[in-house]
A and B are shown apart, each in its own frame.
Chain A
């Protein structure tokens, strides 16, 4: 079998890949390069002059306590979002895997939230949990909880984690369900005959057999929590109150576009870029190699 296509003209193959290359170059490499260049520059407050400052933007960042806080906060958010979203999705998938009437319907319904854009997710949750407008806020207050995420930083953080995790459940659910269905039913039946009760069966058979899926989703969820939660944060809290919900990605935006400190913002985005590369590297290294039990 001839795998290579044969082109009459030498130029045709290049012409065919050119549109794709152009998109990648213009929309990915060009901005990335701009960010790297920008991160070595310092502008004055009015944007009239620009100075080349080598690594000063980076050095300033690592001296800045606020930046360090944002790093810790981002890691905490990622961990909390990944763990809560993964565990809840796994619970739902295990339930939905049972042969029940109408399972197709609620499997479909469970996948829907994934189609909702992050800012819309933010708005939805704000409507439910806004201190004065929220439907659920009244119940929380009636239960004696002093619910006000607009003033209380911890509550705001919890709200972000809740909304971000909720959105990701669908995606995780889909993969877990597929993972569960890939395990032959007879393995569970053998475990049932072998005297393993449902909980033990889950921890000794289901969970280990799902471990490749769990690892893959863990990486995907961390990447999601790192970068894709911007829309949720921006619509719900705008990083506030104070800086209690400012993550690394949000800080790039607020320092650069709101604070006008383009050099520092660019340096931060370069650091984030390195993090994505590392995470993607981990994903390729382990997931592509197919982690097995």
Chain B
């Protein structure tokens, strides 16, 4: 029905603060796009700009082939689900959903059939006469969804819609949202700070940091080939281990593998194995076990390297320098204080330039 294109979109506040520093994103028709990043990265601002709730100070926002920069939110043919749901507290569930339709002068019979249909899909039929304060968090969330879908807009916008729900409900609603979006096939833009939500929902994942896009693409492609150290440590939990290539111990192991320019080496926790052998082509690190986390199906081993004073730019979710996380299956783990050797295969290594801004393919 509509694709959404952001061309060099910028947002500068009157005080001179640049919240969005030129963003280019293309969301195809019917695609589910997720904007993810740490708080303050500008993802919500960007979404609100698409909605028309924030002015655009540079670039163009194109919804379905129409530049909407100067168009009122009501006329953009979008619907938005807010973090706090923003239900009208004085209206019944039915009226909450019908409000947007009545405002547009729709006939009452049509309003009723649309609301009833949405209520049936979202299992709200028995609650149509209730006020929002009589509903649980999950039910309110569904009403907010219902209010969006009755309008049958070109684009759905979601602003952290699940962050007020408890962990279990969040997972259930995540799946519901995905199914609903697939069925309706409506272009969607979804903002979250939760990388797991981002990974599971997105067709197109946009990783943002400091008002800029760090990387755009398929979630798995981003996971496998993060473009920067920021993306590497933000996507994936626990985060990727990042270390300087300067210490002799690492430099010597990387020699001759086309990694001469690399300043930072990244290895995901699950790509390590604890072994006594030295693989033909790869990296081996000696570690002292500091802590163990058993989750059942898997175990995380926290170890420190012998000597590593080299500090790498601290990013959100990044490990302290010198610490390495290793993920091993099952619940068998070495005792605390033991010295172990962990190895990673050559093809599992991620190499970045010294400033962490560029990925180097060896």
Seen from chain A, the residues whose Cβ lies within 8 Å of a Cβ on chain B are: 184, 186-187, 189-197, 200, 204-205, 208-209, 211, 293
Pick from A186, A189, A196, A197: contact of B99, CB under 8 Å: A196
B74 contacts A by Cβ under 8 Å: yes
Q: Is the CB of B90 within 8 A of A209?
A: yes
Q: Is the CB of B78 within 8 A of A194?
A: no
Chain A facing B: main interface SS: helix
Q: Is the CB of A194 within 8 A of B99?
A: yes
What is the 8 Å Cβ interface bit string for chain B, positions 73-115, against chain A (1 contact, 0 not)? 1100011101110111110000000011001100000000000
Closest chain-A Cβ to B48's Cβ sits at a distance in Å of 8
- The 7 sampled A-B contact pairs (Cβ below 8 Å) are A184-B84, A187-B86, A189-B51, A192-B53, A200-B103, A209-B89, A209-B90
Contacts of A208 in B (CB 8 A): 90
B147 contacts A by Cβ under 8 Å: yes
Q: Is the CB of B79 within 8 A of A193?
A: yes
Closest chain-A Cβ to B103's Cβ sits at a distance in Å of 4
Tell me, in angstroms, the Cα distance from A204 to B89 when the chains sit together: 11
A184-B86, A189-B86, A194-B74 known, 8 other contacts, Cβ within 8 Å? A186-B84, A186-B86, A189-B51, A192-B52, A193-B53, A194-B147, A195-B103, A293-B90
Tell me, in angstroms, the Cα distance from A253 to B100 when the chains sit together: 57
Central interface residue in B52, B72, B88, B147, by most chain A CB within 10 Å: B88
Tell me, in angstroms, the Cα distance from A187 to B83 when the chains sit together: 11
Q: Is the CB of B104 within 8 A of A195?
A: yes
Central interface residue in A184, A190, A192, by most chain B CB within 10 Å: A190
Closest chain-A Cβ to B142's Cβ sits at a distance in Å of 15
Closest chain-B Cβ to A275's Cβ sits at a distance in Å of 32
Contacts of B72 in A (CB 8 A): 192
Closest chain-B Cβ to A289's Cβ sits at a distance in Å of 16
Tell me, in angstroms, the Cα distance from A83 to B307 when the chains sit together: 77
Tell me, in angstroms, the Cα distance from A293 to B211 when the chains sit together: 41
Q: Is the CB of A186 within 8 A of B82?
A: yes
Q: Is the CB of A194 within 8 A of B84?
A: no
**Nearest neighbor of A189 in chain B, beta-carbon distance:** B53
Q: Is the CB of A192 within 8 A of B74?
A: yes
Q: Is the CB of B86 within 8 A of A190?
A: yes
Closest chain-B Cβ to A107's Cβ sits at a distance in Å of 19
Tell me, in angstroms, the Cα distance from A115 to B79 when the chains sit together: 46
Contacts of A184 in B (CB 8 A): 84, 86
Q: Is the CB of A204 within 8 A of B86?
A: no
Contacts of B74 in A (CB 8 A): 192-197
